[in-house]
Amino acid sequence: MSDKIQDTLSPLKAIDLPVGETNTEFPKIQALLSCGLFGISDDFIEKYQSLDSLFVKNKFSTFFFEAAGDSMEPTIFQGQILIVDRSRKDFHGRVCVICFEDKMICKRVLQKSNAVILKSDNSKYKDIVIENNEGLICWGVVIASAGVIT
């Protein structure tokens, strides 16, 4: 994605999805994880799981973003990686990447008969009500998020 648009209130940094012919597989551990669990060994590996097969249904319509700001807490936190599918059209009630007034933002989309409401999951932020849908593009649906360990 060559054009990276950032919103000054809630910037999202685009991360290009690597296009390749091979999947990268990671081990999926069979054991349930608790804070006191130590010494995971190969005996507990259930199978190897490809993250591509879990999240990337169409590599040409799947994009990764880094979340910034706190407007979508407690659903999405600063620094999380968002996996966005542009082929999905089921926007209502879902967290989406929206292009509004030439800015890309992440909000929950509520479609009403006479308006679209862009809602933050954090109650500190007011809803954005768009009555004529002009200048509004639902860019894609957030299908998953992953925390980033620093």
pLDDT tens digits along 42-54: 666 677 777 677 7
Class (C level, CATH) for 13-19+59-146:
mainly beta
Flag whether pLDDT at 64 surpasses 70: yes
In whole angstroms, what is the distance from residue 60 CA to residue 31 CA? 34
At residue 94, φ and ψ (nearest 5 deg) are: -100, 155
| pLDDT at site 22 | 58
Q: What is the mean pLDDT of the chain?
A: 75
Tokens found for residue 140:
């894609």
Nearest Cα residue to 72 out of 84, 64, 80, 60: 80
pLDDT band at 107 (very low <50, low <70, confident <90, very high): very high
Phi-psi region of 100 (alpha: psi -120 to 50; beta: other; left: phi over 0): beta
